[in-house]
Amino acid sequence: MPMHPIALHEALTAFDALWSPRIVSRVNDYDVRIAKVEGEHVWHVHDHTDEFFLVLDGELHIALREPSGERTVTLAKGSVFTVPKGTEHKPYAPTGAAILMLEPTGTLTVGDRHEEVPAHVDVTTGHRVDAEPQSP
Ligand code: NI
C-alpha cells in the first residue's frame, strides 16, 4: 500500500470511471476504497461481511431488502452507514457522489450473489492507485 499520505480530493480527480473503486489504503485486512458513482449499481449481497460507506461528496442512496421489507437510506455528504452482512442492497446516486468504503480485502463490488451486472458496473476487488508522493 502507499507509504505516503493520499489527498482524497486529488485521488478522485485522477480517474473518471464510475462504480470502479480505487484502493487508497489498507487497515489490517481491510481495504479503504474510494469511488465515483452516478446512476444505479446492482442488487447484491455480501454473505460474509458488513460494508461501510462514507459519503465524501454528493448524495448516496442505498436500497435495502430487509426481513421487514424494502427501504432506502439516504446519505448526505459526510454521512456514514454500514450495510450488515447478508443484507441485499443496491446503492444509487441519481445526481452523482464520491464515496469511501471499508471492507475486507478481496471483497467483490457485486458481492457473493447479484442480479445481472450491467456494462457500467465494474466487477472488481478494487484497483490500486498509483498516486505519486505529494511535492512539498
Ligand atoms: Ni455491496
**Nine-digit cell string for 124:** 472488481
| The pLDDT of residue 130 | 64
Residues with CB in 5 Å of ion ligand 1: 51
Q: How far is it, in rounded angstroms, from Cα 7 to Cα 91?
A: 25
| The pLDDT of residue 117 | 82
| The pLDDT of residue 2 | 67
Tell me the CA distances in angstroms from 35 to 11, 57, 70, 91, 124, one per residue in order: 10, 11, 25, 12, 12
Place of cell 458496473: 121
What band does 136 get if pLDDT is binned at 50, 70 and 90? Answer: very low
Whole-number Å distance, alpha carbon 110 to ligand 1 midpoint, is 6
11-43 pLDDT, tens digit per residue, is 999 999 999 999 999 999 999 999 999 999 999
| The pLDDT of residue 1 | 64
